[in-house]
Structure 1
């Protein structure tokens, strides 16, 4: 009689990713590429104690309620942890639900400071808090001579938080921020307001493609605003869709990117593999996805699959990621375990070659 050997049960990780509109689909595709690449490498190396790592992907479509439902479903399916998400408001909803269910959540790519209302042991984050990244961006503005800043904005907790950080950081140094309601003002009216307020920089705190594309085109074509800098701190110009949609207008629009000045050997190897998988240069979001699984695999090997032990391991993590060594700590004002040394750059597309990026500032 032949005894059949059952294959080992997989260790399951839930992945929250925006894969359909109105989510930022390109960001979701890059995040998923990083997650999947790392899972494949973990399994090629023997998995987690001989058990394969399995990614259970759920599309959030930038919908907080959909993310909450996905966390509920994944918890019932027995995942060891949940990972991912790009949109801050969605990640906040997922983090709150994970905390309530006592399910570990490693947030890959969302920056809103208040990811949970109260301090939690269950959530850790790889991306820098918004208050840090946007302060670096404000330093760039001031160094470049921009103290009169306008922001075109739409209603959102994330955009409102960004505008507040800019204002709080500019004001002590003599700077001002004027908010322009992108819902109430047509692009031509935004241009008039920039002239009226004598703003030297306009930051896009709005959705893409619209109204961002129309505002960029209007400002670029207004002869009164030839010296006005356009910025997009949230990172929209990182992705190829930005360049494809805006063409030559896509360049010289600085944004935040979370990469070091030079990738180490691991980062360089992963960059090559991600480029092959994506058929284009990987964004920082793809590296965030890869690092997420790298951290979780290390935790699972060292501490097992018990959810409580995973959450208790956050302060003990010391993992070499694609962008440096990852350690989590408590950061003042941040309610989750935070990687405090995430690299931050201000980057734009080179007007002479929009497919090439220029580092304008690092912090």
Structure 2
């Protein structure tokens, strides 16, 4: 029997569950592997909260909805979850989808702690209802640009598909590199085949190619084409959005998928909590957890702390963002107002530039940190 949810702002007294809505890409065209890791982190944290007594004696319940990388589907899920009486929303990996979810949550007055999406302008206007754990795209991609310059790359091609997220990334790179003597050559993947990309790289004398495209298509065919073109033996391939993080990348590309630097959001050393959570996530996933799994865990850790302090009242949850101080798996989590970012932001999430070691593609090398 399902107990009808109480109206927002009314605390049940019957010990019924405190519900959190979780937005996760679990089917294609969503990045399913990222969604699986995100959900594993969310679920592990919920289990640990309940093992420790729940939310002041009430169990914490995750109500999961698959966004499938579809903004309209995500917005509809936010409406449904709001009607079900969830205290807050958590999750989402894809920036464009998270933006649609954040807009709807803001309109409904439903707190949303976004786990992974990085787009700076997560909402059109500043809002008190939304907070985010992942670093803003501008900070991460500028750190990536610093890495490119330090590695001697100043003529950089970007193979890009049309989307707000990819366009934002290309703009960040172009502006940051141009101010430091670099050049960005944009290759429109609506019209170019992987073979044509190789020709463009040669013609433009690019020393690096960045993949601002979906995975596995067309990222995997592009990598294969470049790796097999003898004219491009010295070119660096990069993937700032993190495509090589997941095991599927290595499975599809093998040795070709190594030495492709990407951004991930882990510290040099995990805290004792992070080490313990890593072990539990590895057991749950049957593989090494990605940074996305840690983001999922930290999301619930923050929400549980807020719920213990203020209950399930939505307005009080949103009011508490600037007072959050939670020890997460990757450091102390606190939110602040960040210039150019429209939501409450964990300002100092750790950022690394990492690649898979060519000598051992299952191992990651840290190349740069910021």
- Compute the TM-score of the two structures, normalised by the length of structure 1: 0.98
Query: Does residue 96 of structure 1 match 2:103?
Result: yes
Q: Which residue of 2 aligns with 1:232?
A: 239
Q: Which residue of 1 aligns with 2:195?
A: 188
**Helix, strand or coil for the counterpart of 2:263?**
strand
Q: Which residue of 2 aligns with 1:274?
A: 281
Q: Which among 88, 111, 128 is matched to residue 135 of structure 2?
A: 128
Q: Which among 306, 311, 321 is matched to residue 299 of structure 1?
A: 306
Deviations 1:13-39 (A, max 9, x none): 000000000000000000000000000
CA distance in 2, matches of 1:219, 1:325: 41
Query: Does residue 333 of structure 1 match 2:340?
Result: yes
CA distance in 2, matches of 1:265, 1:39: 19
Query: Does residue 22 of structure 1 match 2:66?
Result: no
CA distance in 1, matches of 2:291, 2:204: 35
**Helix, strand or coil for the counterpart of 2:77?**
helix
Q: Which residue of 1 aligns with 2:6?
A: none
CA distance in 1, matches of 2:264, 2:234: 24
Query: Does residue 215 of structure 1 match 2:222?
Result: yes
- RMSD (Å), alpha carbons: 0.7
Q: Which among 71, 75, 84 is matched to residue 82 of structure 2?
A: 75
Using the TM superposition, name which of 337-346 and 209-218 deviates more.
209-218
Query: Does residue 285 of structure 1 match 2:287?
Result: no
**Helix, strand or coil for the counterpart of 1:173?**
coil
CA distance in 1, matches of 2:50, 2:129: 25
Q: Which among 110, 117, 120 is matched to residue 113 of structure 1?
A: 120
CA distance in 1, matches of 2:266, 2:256: 24
**Helix, strand or coil for the counterpart of 1:216?**
helix
Q: Which residue of 2 aligns with 1:202?
A: 209
Long gaps (5+) in structure 1: 1-5
**Helix, strand or coil for the counterpart of 1:159?**
helix
Q: Which residue of 2 aligns with 1:255?
A: 262
- Compute the TM-score of the two structures, normalised by the length of structure 2: 0.96
1:241 CA drift (Å): 0.2
**Helix, strand or coil for the counterpart of 2:16?**
coil
Q: Which residue of 1 aligns with 2:160?
A: 153
Q: Which residue of 1 aligns with 2:179?
A: 172
Q: Which residue of 2 aligns with 1:65?
A: 72
CA distance in 1, matches of 2:192, 2:144: 25
CA distance in 2, matches of 1:77, 1:214: 43
1:8 CA drift (Å): 1.6
Deviations 1:197-243 (A, max 9, x none): 10000000011111111110110011111110000000010000000
1:7 CA drift (Å): 6.4
1:245 CA drift (Å): 0.4
CA distance in 2, matches of 1:89, 1:295: 23
